Structure 1
Amino acid sequence: MDNKVVVIGQGYVGLPLALEATLAGLTVTGLDLNRGTVDGLNSGKSHVDDVSDGDIERMLEAGYKAATDPSVISGADTVVICVPTPLGEASKPDLSAVIGATKSIARYMMPGTLVVLESTTYPGTTDDLIRPLLETDGLLVDRDFHLAFSPERIDPGNPTYGLKNTPKVVGGVTPASTARALEFYQSVVDVVVPVRGAREAETAKLLENTYRHINIALVNEMSRFCHELGIDLWDVIDAASTKPFGFQAFYPGPGVGGHCIPIDPNYLSYEVKRKLGVPFRFVELAEEVNGAMPKYVVERLQDALNDQSKAMKGATVLLLGVTYKKNIADQRESPAIPVGELLKAKGATISFHDPKIQTWKLGNAEYERESELEQAVMDADAVILLQNHESYDVDALASKASLFFDTRGATKSEKAIRL
């Protein structure tokens, strides 16, 4: 039984895992290089939407602790890597944090340790990168340690599915490593799904998000055509959704955000091009379509202002919802950033409101949230709904606005313009 667990990285992936492992009765240490994060956790403060301060207090009472010193890996039965894997220059995966974490594990792990990578990456990383780093100094997988990959499936803000009740895919670099990882995760989550190996587990995560990326691009492209043809795409999607098979609804928007959709498909595209020398055309086309949506939103707003005999230059534009997803504070890769930058480049004066964000950074500028939402809506020349947080009464706000552009299809009011 894996009683002592170290989770490397205490962000949106690592902290929920540390929570569930602690609640399952395991002794958990959260390892993070950010001193502020560690101090906050040890004082009972959470920085992640889906983990409350109360959850942290329960974890601390059950023996959880956060640390910055990698020597805490010594003595751990299981070490799970949950560090960021952003894209670097030319969309090349940046695995520096993963490599750093693995080197720390190799230095401190004891014989028999289970090492699991959860950070999203390209197929083959666990076998071809992590394994050699751990097999330095004559160590061998299955004899001295076990190694597996288990993709994170965290959906921030999801009120129904969390880490515990979302099936967990697990694939080891050997059958014995798969079995060992299966045993660990079965003690933490409700359902564990073993697959043939680490490469299959790595690719499963990339397929999930590539599927979403491509289908979002499809409806984003359709939104442009339907607008020109005078067709209400939102009504079309509602109608198509009545089919009980063969259709899953996806919705257009101002762009894609978060760590998964804008980032993960590029890992798959990168590896296909690197190993096979051919482009992954679906991914590249989806990236082109989704990446163009902020510009399209600004162009639509400019057309709407022109219809009211107003210029974009000098117009006051209020952005509603600047996080990448509704009802959370996460701003990673939010389409609000390119929308805001494009509006500024065209001479608009922008302001923002978001119930989850007090201060919003856009380039070198910082904006404070509008304190009086309704007054800000009435004062603005145009309002763009970028994220439909549940606290917004969008139809009431649209009725007060001179121009209300709804990029989320949330309004029923005839006064609003929908994407």
Structure 2
Amino acid sequence: MDESTTTFPVAALVERIRAHTARIGVIGLGYVGLPLVCAFNDKGFPVLGFDVDPEKVTALNGGRSYIRQIPDAKVAAMRATGRFEASADFSRLGEADAILICVPTPLTRQREPDMTFVEATAAEIGRHLRRGQLVVLESTTYPGTTREVVRPLLEAGGLKSGADFLLAYSPEREDPGNIDYETSTIPKVVGGDGTGALDAALALYGEAVVKVVPVSSPDAAEAVKITENIFRAVNIALVNELKVVFERMGIDVWEVIEAAKTKPFGYMPFYPGPGLGGHCIPIDPFYLTWKAREYDVATRFIELAGEVNTAMPAYVVGRLAEALNDRFAMALKGARILLIGVAYKKNVEDCRESPAFKLTELLEKQGAKVEYFDPFVPVIPRLREHPTLIGRRSVAWGKAAIAAHDAALICTDHDGIDYAALVEWSKLVIDARNATKAVPRGRDKIVKA
């Protein structure tokens, strides 16, 4: 874009932003979009939320939340201000001065980026785009998406980025279940398609979050988020591999990590598990490996980490099978297994990409009968994959229900679960999260995996 031809009224938009009279539109009212709505509403901005799910729209307009970390009272309070409304009518996009895109970016079955939601959203915005708007993509994606995918769709109606509207990228950094950080207290990285877009996006987020961090381009901002999640994926793969090696040596990897993290420099603790879950770490690294092929670059380190992490559910099932055979001369076929936790991480209800579902399928493929207990997930919701698991219900917590199973497999280490009781009531406990570390009795029943 030639900055000399920029005619966009950046100063006027920035003035409305700083006066908190600019209306914010947020597309996608899930675990990223709804907290963003709250952050801007808390600062006095009028916010219009968009979602294709009419049940979410109805719930929010009725003052009800569907995300545990955001209570009903919070949504009701936002509605009471008169500054928040949810809508499924995308023809109203023209009412917003800034449009923030918070839609999913999953992988296809071939582990390639699925840009369906981003493309459909950008095309919808393009149909209603008006001069003077700022559009920001927040969905995690590969470097180049904002310029190569979103911008052409927005410009399809004749308006041009920089001259008629502004375009930027600012990656979401939500961490569901983390009580120490929320949207407004997490620094926001921003890259603009031109200086005008950068200035406007910095002004916008600067009014709602503790700190804004400008970078040179949308591509750089996209690379920041990918880098953050690849860092985590690779280090988790490393400790998962160490877990397997140390188990063969008779060494407890959890003990090693606890001791290693006492070093005040040069070490950062990461923890093994039964596999990766959530909407970021299992997915985002593959966005870069896919894009790297365009440049004839092999991302062997990232792909190896993916292989290690993907193998963890099978490793855990193998440890369970060995333990059943060693303790009870029992095969997995016909064994009753109780999965503890199906959310992808502790203290949240989010099940996206949870390793619990892969564990369930592997166990049932070998003839085991699998049930689950999760206080955060009473019913397994709609999933992109694993259709046979949708609608299954959590068993009730209690001695009789737990004792009726041949083994309990801890997949998600929610706080608030009585792990001492779990060990007492179970015949065998396979602990993939070190959740039973403080349980004093019955340790002979516990097998770490």
TM range (shorter): over 0.9
Q: What percentage of residue pairs aligned between the two structures are identical?
A: 45
Deviation of 1:375 after TM superposition, in Å, equals: 2.3
Asked if structure 1 preserves the Cα contact closer than 8 Å seen for 2:162 and 2:193, the reply is no
Across the two proteins, how many residue pairs are aligned to each other?
A: 418
Alignment partners' CA distance in 2, 1:128 and 1:314: 52
Mean CA deviation greater in 335-344 or 85-94: 85-94
Q: Does residue 300 of structure 1 match 2:315?
A: no
Matches within 5 A, 1:12-411: 12-62=31-81, 63-273=83-293, 275-308=294-327, 309-360=329-380, 363-365=387-389, 366-411=391-436
Asked if structure 2 preserves the Cα contact closer than 8 Å seen for 1:315 and 1:349, the reply is yes
Note the alpha carbon deviations across 1:246-299, whole angstroms, 9 max, x for none.
1110011000000001111111111001x2123211111111111111111010
Deviation of 1:383 after TM superposition, in Å, equals: 0.7
Asked if structure 1 preserves the Cα contact closer than 8 Å seen for 2:94 and 2:128, the reply is yes
Alignment partners' CA distance in 2, 1:88 and 1:55: 35
Q: Does residue 418 of structure 1 match 2:448?
A: yes
Asked if structure 2 preserves the Cα contact closer than 8 Å seen for 1:75 and 1:110, the reply is no
Alignment partners' CA distance in 2, 1:198 and 1:68: 28
Question: Compared with structure 1, are the counterparts of its residues 363 and 134 closer, same or farther at alpha carbon in structure 2 (3 Å cutoff)?
Answer: closer
Question: Compared with structure 1, are the counterparts of its residues 363 and 68 closer, same or farther at alpha carbon in structure 2 (3 Å cutoff)?
Answer: closer
Asked if structure 2 preserves the Cα contact closer than 8 Å seen for 1:355 and 1:391, the reply is no
The 3-state SS of whatever aligns with 1:90 is coil
The 3-state SS of whatever aligns with 2:176 is coil
Alignment partners' CA distance in 1, 2:119 and 2:379: 33
Mean CA deviation greater in 200-209 or 138-147: 138-147
Deviation of 1:396 after TM superposition, in Å, equals: 3.1
Deviation of 1:134 after TM superposition, in Å, equals: 2.1
Alignment partners' CA distance in 1, 2:96 and 2:216: 26
The 3-state SS of whatever aligns with 2:363 is helix
Asked if structure 1 preserves the Cα contact closer than 8 Å seen for 2:177 and 2:348, the reply is yes
Alignment partners' CA distance in 2, 1:58 and 1:158: 22
Deviation of 1:137 after TM superposition, in Å, equals: 4.2
- Matched letter for residue 163 of structure 1: T
2:4 corresponds to which residue? none
Alignment partners' CA distance in 2, 1:76 and 1:313: 57
- TM-score normalised to structure 1 length: 0.97
The 3-state SS of whatever aligns with 2:183 is coil
Note the alpha carbon deviations across 1:9-40, whole angstroms, 9 max, x for none.
11111111111111111111001111111111
Mean CA deviation greater in 41-50 or 197-206: 41-50
Structure 1 residue runs of 5 or longer lacking an equivalent are none
Mean CA deviation greater in 367-376 or 315-324: 367-376
Asked if structure 2 preserves the Cα contact closer than 8 Å seen for 1:76 and 1:109, the reply is no
Structure 2 residue runs of 5 or longer lacking an equivalent are 1-15
The 3-state SS of whatever aligns with 1:364 is helix
Deviation of 1:100 after TM superposition, in Å, equals: 1.7
Asked if structure 2 preserves the Cα contact closer than 8 Å seen for 1:175 and 1:197, the reply is no
Deviation of 1:108 after TM superposition, in Å, equals: 1.7
Asked if structure 2 preserves the Cα contact closer than 8 Å seen for 1:146 and 1:176, the reply is yes
The 3-state SS of whatever aligns with 1:92 is coil
- Matched letter for residue 84 of structure 1: P
- Matched letter for residue 158 of structure 1: N
Mean CA deviation greater in 204-213 or 120-129: 120-129
Alignment partners' CA distance in 2, 1:73 and 1:318: 47
Deviation of 1:110 after TM superposition, in Å, equals: 2.3
- Matched letter for residue 16 of structure 1: P
The 3-state SS of whatever aligns with 1:380 is coil
Mean CA deviation greater in 46-55 or 5-14: 46-55
Alignment partners' CA distance in 1, 2:325 and 2:155: 65
- Matched letter for residue 367 of structure 1: R
